[in-house]
Amino acid sequence: METMTIGGLIKTTLIDFPGEVATVLFATGCNFNCPYCHNRPLIMPSAETLTKGTVMAHLEKRVGLCDGVVISGGEPTLQPGLEAAVVEIRNLGYKVKLDTNGTRPEVLKRLLDRGLLDYVAMDVKSSADRHERVTGGHARDRDAVEQSMDLLMGSTVAHEFRTTVVFPLHDYEELRRIGERMAGAGRWVLQAYKPAPAIPEKEALTTPPMGTLESWKSQLERDIPGVNIELRTGY
């Protein structure tokens, strides 16, 4: 974990790794600048970091109490030490879940090919048309996202795709465009945006009513057969 920078951790979680009691590690740095980001302090140059000794001491202490480790961010696949860190964590006996925005398919492929991941949650934040507005990223990143989607859809590793629904960035037509690309996906999670306290946002954003999401879910299931959609409240 020498070249992987961790900006924080959650000691124990029951909700971030399906079916597992887990610790969450948050990698610093991101190549997106989403206006609704809850982890904005992690992507700032001034982000505080934890030492390797602190992180490993915690994981060693939790062996037998936690089943898995979630590596989130930020964007973990930007970290040059990610692969070595995953190996080190697995050597302690943990399962590993990766949270990613999908912009580094070559890193994802290597981890999948080596059998180093037990679960992957990939954020699909927008359709191609709204990619730059929603993510603050470059249009070229969208091609990488598509490659990562294909990698996961063709993989036997448990995975889910996630879209955080934010007004006014998303409406039904935007979700339908995203969903059309999900045809064949095992699990697509729509999660309602919840404002983060004390984190200034780049534009006025609001939470979609759960009733609206439930209605859209039903309509999406009619319009896009074969997609398993799950609603999740907040993130």
Give the residue from 212, 163, 169 showing the smallest Cα distance to 185.
Answer: 163
Task: Report the mean per-residue pLDDT for the chain.
Answer: 91
Quick one: average pLDDT of 7-24?
95
Query: Is 220 contained in some domain?
Result: yes
- Beta-carbon neighbour count of residue 108 at 10 Å? 23
Long-range contacts of 194-199 (CB under 8 A, 24+ apart): 194/233, 194/234, 194/235, 196/38, 199/37, 199/38, 199/40
Whether residue 17 lies inside any domain: the answer is: yes
Burial label, 53 (beta-carbon count in 10 A; 0-12, 13-18, 19+): exposed
Over range 70-88, report the average pLDDT: 96
* pLDDT confidence bin for 200, thresholds 50/70/90: low
pLDDT at 203 over 70: no
pLDDT at residue 198, as a whole number? 53
Q: What is the pLDDT of residues 141-189, one digit of tens each?
A: 999 999 999 999 999 999 999 999 999 999 999 999 999 988 878 899 9
Q: What pLDDT does 180 receive?
A: 92
User: At residue 196, does pLDDT exceed 80?
Assistant: no
Residue 91 counted as domain residue: yes
Q: What is the C-alpha to C-alpha distance for residues 177 and 197, in angstroms, rounded to an integer?
A: 31
Residue 1 within a domain? no
Rounded Cα–Cα distance for residues 138 and 160 (Å): 24
Amino acid at the residue 43: I
Number of domains in the chain: 1
- Residue 115 covered by a domain: yes
Q: Is residue 199 assigned to a domain?
A: yes
What is the per-residue pLDDT for 227? Answer: 85
Looking up residue 68, the CATH number of its domain turns out to be 3.20.20.70
Residue-level pLDDT at 48: 76
Q: Can you tell me the mean pLDDT for 208-234?
A: 90
pLDDT of residue 1: 63
User: 204 falls in which pLDDT band (50, 70, 90)?
Assistant: confident
Q: Is residue 46 part of a domain?
A: yes
pLDDT in tens, 109-127: 999 999 999 999 999 999 9
The stretch 36-57 carries a mean pLDDT of 83
Q: What is the pLDDT of residue 197?
A: 62
User: Is 152 domain-assigned?
Assistant: yes
pTM of the model: 0.94
Q: Is 158 exposed, middle or buried (0-12, 13-18, 19+ CB in 10 A)?
A: middle
**Of 202 and 99, which is predicted with more confidence?**
99
Domain that includes residue 28, residue range: 6-232
pLDDT on residue 103: 97
Question: Could you tell me the pLDDT band of residue 71, with boundaries at 50, 70 and 90?
Answer: very high
Whether 15 has a pLDDT exceeding 60, the answer reads yes
